[in-house]
């Protein structure tokens, strides 16, 4: 049965104590509260905590899993909590709700921790926070969750099945979600944890609507831990030499067919991998690698990377050019230019010149370029698994606003493309209005430029989603 909210003390407003963070759950709670209060990226908060707090290295992985998992599966956790808490969740003290979400995530969605241990550790967290009056309530709700969840699994979604991985659903003892056969969008939104409007948008998309099965497949992909791919820096090593370096260090990795890249089999702290400081590799997804390869810049070319920060694709361009020629790397944020400089120095890509341009287009270069990469800011609907917060930040109105920026950037770039020059327009989005529709609209104003190739990358097939169009001036 649902548990009532503990009585609030009129003169006892919650103020987070000066908690000396020592455990994974404490770190996760602090990170989640900072995200709730300020919207700070979880990764930034956790990095700072790990530098300043006394969280043992062995606990940092669990802290990251808990904090990111709670934000990623926020709608799923709240759907379950609505079955277990008597009053509306917006009437539960926000920090208490954070504790409950942490507990439910451990009991139902986290493998490897026994339910009784999850309940005990979450109750102990309330005591460390100085909120003894929460402990009985939290204990009751989480014990209710242990009775709700079963040890049974199925391969098909239903109203009492919560997805835990691709094609794998954990059985609950009660119907928590909408029937996926009757209301697939509502099931997708709650069970996979996405904004309802986004699922509705994808299923009703003009020209290329998603089936319920495709919608659930994308949800599972974005909720699954992604594999880390590393692009070997051909200016300093080869893929095979990098694999040998990792093998000597005991790092398990495998080659990616057809690319100068390897895939790590386990999670890792990138800057502690062998060869990182020496610039032997860069982290990059498969679809992102394809952008520079599709542009195919030649040694000696004059190249412009329009939205270059943090510089991963820029450095890849330099590698393909054998570090010969020039690359202008522009961005509208000065602090982001420093990231380009850091990557340039680490990877030895000497031909890159970072340059600031204004949001209004001031400072744009005048000279024509042989090759231009236009990797525009976008909705990121193709990479919603990368950062757990991303799915909650995107809005329909935001996509409309991005369209105006994307159209201006592509137009500015094509106006500076040399005869016989090549350009690649690239996004991390799967929305047609950011991709093919926009390219067609802009090309109607540039009769001397034609579309040679366009590729839509679907999430999970086999990498992140996105779009690339190769454009050539006659």
Two structure tokens written together for 452? 């040679």
Count of other CB atoms within 10 angstroms of residue 252: 11
Q: Do the bridges between strand 302-305 and strand 369-375 make them parallel or antiparallel, or are there none, so unpaired?
A: parallel
Q: Which residues contact 271 (CB under 8 A, 6 or more apart)?
A: 277
- Asked whether 90 and 65 are in contact (CB, 8 A), the reply is no
Look up tokens 């208490």; give the residue. Answer: 96
Contacting residues for 3 by C-beta, under 8 A, at least 6 apart? 84, 85, 86, 137, 140, 141, 144
Residue count (the chain)? 474
428 is catalytic: yes
- List the catalytic residue out of 68, 307, 378, 428: 428
In terms of DSSP bridges, do strands 466-473 and 417-427 run parallel, antiparallel, or are they unpaired? Answer: antiparallel
Phi, psi of 348 (to 5 degrees): 70, 30
The DSSP string of 210-246 is PPHHHHHHHHHHHHSPPPPEEEE-TTT--HHHHHHHH
The DSSP call for residue 332 is S
Angle (CA) 88-91-97 rounded to 5° is 90
Both tokens of residue 395?
């809005």
Q: How far is CA 414 from the centre of its chain?
A: 30
Q: Using alpha carbons, list the distances in angstroms from residue 61 to 27, 44, 47, 74, 117.
A: 11, 15, 12, 19, 18
The structure tokens listed for 256 are 């990616």
- Using the structure block, give the residue that is written with the tokens 């020209």: 207
Asked whether the CA dihedral 113, 116, 122, 128 is positive or negative, the reply is negative
Alpha carbon separation from 6 to 9, 32, 99, 134 (Å, rounded): 9, 21, 14, 7
CA distance 179 to 77: 17
What's the CA gap between 474 and 471, in Å, rounded?
10
Tokens of 42: 């979880």
- Cite the active site residues: 428
């Amino acid at each position: 049965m649902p548990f009532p909210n503990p009585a609030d003390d009129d003169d006892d407003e919650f103020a987070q104590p000066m908690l000396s963070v020592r455990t994974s759950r404490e770190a996760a709670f602090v990170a989640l509260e900072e995200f709730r209060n300020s919207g700070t990226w979880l990764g930034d908060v956790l990095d700072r905590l790990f530098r300043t707090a006394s969280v043992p290295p062995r606990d940092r992985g669990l802290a990251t899993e808990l904090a990111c998992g709670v934000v990623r599966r926020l709608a799923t956790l709240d759907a379950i909590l609505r079955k277990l808490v008597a009053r509306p969740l917006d009437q539960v003290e926000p920090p208490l709700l954070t504790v409950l979400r942490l507990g439910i995530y451990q009991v139902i969605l986290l493998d490897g921790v026994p339910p009784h241990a999850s309940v005990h550790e979450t109750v102990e967290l309330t005591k460390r926070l100085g909120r003894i009056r929460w402990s009985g309530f939290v204990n009751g709700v989480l014990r209710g969750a242990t009775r709700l969840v079963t040890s049974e699994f199925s391969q098909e979604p239903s109203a009492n099945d919560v997805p835990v991985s691709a094609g794998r659903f954990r059985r609950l003892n009660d119907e928590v979600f909408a029937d996926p056969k009757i209301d697939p969008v509502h099931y997708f939104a709650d069970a996979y944890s996405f904004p309802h409007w986004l699922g509705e948008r994808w299923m009703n998309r003009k020209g290329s609507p998603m089936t319920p099965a495709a919608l659930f497949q994308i949800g599972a992909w974005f909720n699954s831990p992604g594999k880390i791919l590393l692009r070997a820096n051909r200016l300093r090593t080869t893929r095979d030499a990098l694999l040998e370096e990792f093998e000597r260090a005991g790092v398990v990795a495998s080659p990616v067919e057809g690319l100068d890249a390897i895939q790590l089999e386990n999670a890792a702290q990138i800057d502690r991998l062998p060869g990182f400081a020496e610039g032997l590799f860069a982290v990059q997804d498969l679809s992102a690698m394809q952008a520079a390869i599709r542009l195919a810049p030649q040694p000696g070319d004059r190249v412009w990377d329009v939205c270059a920060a943090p510089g991963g694709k820029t450095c890849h361009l330099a590698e393909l050019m054998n570090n010969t020629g020039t690359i202008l790397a522009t961005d509208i944020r000065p602090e982001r230019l420093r990231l380009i400089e850091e990557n340039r120095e680490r990877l030895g890509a000497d031909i890159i010149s970072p340059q600031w341009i204004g949001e209004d287009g001031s400072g744009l270069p005048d000279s024509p370029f042989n090759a231009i990469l236009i990797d525009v800011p976008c909705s990121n609907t193709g990479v919603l698994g990368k950062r757990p917060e991303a799915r909650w930040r995107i809005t329909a109105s935001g996509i409309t606003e991005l369209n105006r920026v994307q159209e201006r950037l592509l137009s500015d770039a094509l106006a500076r493309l040399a005869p016989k020059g090549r350009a690649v327009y690239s996004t991390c989005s799967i929305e047609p209005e950011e991709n093919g529709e926009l390219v067609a609209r802009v090309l109607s104003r540039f009769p001397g430029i034609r579309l040679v190739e366009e590729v839509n990358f679907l999430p999970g097939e086999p990498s992140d989603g996105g779009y690339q169009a190769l454009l050539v001036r006659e």
